[in-house]
């Protein structure tokens, strides 16, 4: 079966790579169509072809600058035209440019869309836009039961295929008291809550590893007097793995703006127990595998208590993280995707 995976903006290069490679291992002929990753080297193809057909100029001239957006929008129709030239049995879109794709996107083959963020923050209020776009696909995939229920309220039927973990085996170098916040630093990630919760736990230290997309100075001020290891910038996988090796547990005090967290699944994939707010589908793998603690969203006191409990005895949660590593595999995800593709191809 010929499969084209398309992630035009290269939002999730690690996810794209691991799914494409797993589909190829399962016997599919896979082409990943994307753009140049702006923050480092993309994973080298393994058993699949990679074609960078989108945004040849804007992805090279800019990183996070807003000056990139007008050029990107001008390049998008050209990328869609190039995408249509690739023969395939199934076209699987990972991300959309919603306002433009509403006008321009007409899948040229049986098609699937993965709603990674369900209704992305910038356009979440435009429910008719997303209802119209998702209706153009033969199947829609989500990563959680929460995602399925959310889209059902929109009148969209979705299939749950759990997001696999990003498995790694960093050397265990933690000191028994380190609480990690990993991933891009944005307002909805709740770093302020993590700082306040760690302050309430005697002896705990905080490790912050990620690229700030908001001013970091207020967080530094809020963390005054704490033992904090700041590792800032867009970190390569080796540095993220090193941080996870240094982590006793990881915390994800997210606000309700997304359905699943790749950073959380990277932590579980490294065998690190997790404390998470109960938002979207973020808590589902933690609960399902007993891989940590889930606390009510916004409850910093409960967050601190869960951190205290896990630092005192992380063994059971570590076993749960191991169960997640064993079950949430990319090969299992590929099999589920191929079953879905066969329904429409």
CA–CA dist 82, 32 (Å, integer): 13
How high is the pLDDT of residue 259? 85
Cα dihedral value 238, 244, 245, 249, nearest 10: 180
How high is the pLDDT of residue 139? 98
Average of pLDDT values for 324-335? 97
The dihedral through the CA atoms of 123, 128, 133, 135 has a sign that is positive
User: What's the Cα-to-Cα distance from 153 to each of 16, 24, 116, 286, rounded to whole Å?
Assistant: 28, 35, 17, 25
Average of pLDDT values for 156-174? 95
Q: What is the CATH code for 178-327?
A: 3.40.50.2000
**Could you read off the pLDDT of 11-27 as tens digits, one per residue?**
999 999 999 999 999 99
CATH topology for the 2-163+329-344 domain: Rossmann fold (3.40.50)
**Is residue 128 scored above 90 in pLDDT?**
no
Structure confidence at residue 61 as a pLDDT band (50, 70, 90): confident
Average of pLDDT values for 318-329? 97
Structure confidence at residue 60 as a pLDDT band (50, 70, 90): confident
Is the distance from CB of 205 to CB of 228 less than 8 angstroms? yes
Is the distance from CB of 30 to CB of 54 less than 8 angstroms? no
Note whether 2-163+329-344 and 178-327 share their fold.
yes
How high is the pLDDT of residue 62? 66
- Per cent of the chain over pLDDT 90 is 82
Average of pLDDT values for 139-155? 93
How high is the pLDDT of residue 281? 93
**Is residue 254 scored above 80 in pLDDT?**
yes
How high is the pLDDT of residue 54? 95
Average pLDDT score over the chain: 93
How high is the pLDDT of residue 225? 95
How high is the pLDDT of residue 89? 98
CA–CA dist 304, 243 (Å, integer): 21
**Is residue 63 scored above 70 in pLDDT?**
no
Structure confidence at residue 120 as a pLDDT band (50, 70, 90): low
Domain boundaries, the chain: 2-163+329-344, 178-327
Name the helix (H) or strand (E) containing 70.
helix 68-84
Name the helix (H) or strand (E) containing 275.
strand 274-277
How high is the pLDDT of residue 16? 97
Structure confidence at residue 66 as a pLDDT band (50, 70, 90): low
């Amino acid at each position: 079966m010929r499969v084209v995976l398309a992630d035009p903006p290269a939002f999730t290069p690690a996810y794209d790579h691991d799914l494409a490679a797993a589909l190829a291992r399962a016997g599919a002929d896979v082409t990943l169509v994307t753009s140049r990753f702006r923050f480092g080297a993309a994973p080298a193809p393994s058993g699949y072809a990679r074609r960078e057909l989108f945004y040849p100029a804007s992805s090279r001239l800019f990183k996070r600058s807003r000056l990139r957006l007008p050029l990107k929008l001008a390049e998008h129709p050209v990328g869609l035209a190039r995408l249509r030239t690739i023969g395939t049995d199934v076209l699987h879109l990972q991300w959309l440019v919603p306002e433009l794709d509403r006008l321009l996107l007409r899948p040229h083959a049986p098609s699937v869309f993965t709603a990674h963020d369900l209704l992305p923050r910038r356009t979440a209020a435009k429910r008719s836009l997303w209802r119209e776009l998702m209706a153009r696909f033969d199947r829609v995939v989500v990563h959680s039961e929460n995602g399925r229920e959310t889209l059902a309220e929109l009148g969209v039927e979705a299939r749950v295929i759990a997001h696999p973990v990003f498995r790694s085996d960093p050397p265990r170098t933690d000191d028994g008291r380190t609480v990690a916040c990993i991933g891009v630093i944005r307002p909805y990630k709740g770093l302020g809550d993590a700082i306040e919760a760690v302050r309430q736990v005697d002896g705990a230290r905080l490790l912050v590893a990620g690229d700030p997309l908001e001013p970091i100075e207020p967080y530094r001020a809020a963390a005054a007097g704490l033992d904090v290891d700041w590792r800032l910038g867009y970190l390569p996988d080796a540095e993220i793995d090193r941080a996870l090796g240094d982590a006793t547990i990881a915390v994800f005090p997210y606000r309700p703006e997304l359905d699943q967290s790749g950073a959380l699944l990277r932590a579980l994939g490294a065998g690190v127990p997790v404390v998470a707010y109960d938002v979207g589908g973020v808590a589902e793998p933690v609960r399902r595998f007993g891989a940590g603690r889930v606390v009510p969203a916004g409850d910093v006191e409960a967050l601190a208590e869960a951190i205290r409990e896990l630092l005192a005895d992380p063994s059971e949660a570590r076993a749960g993280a191991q169960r997640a590593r064993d079950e949430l595999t990319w090969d299992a995800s590929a099999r589920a995707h191929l079953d879905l593709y066969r329904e429409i191809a």
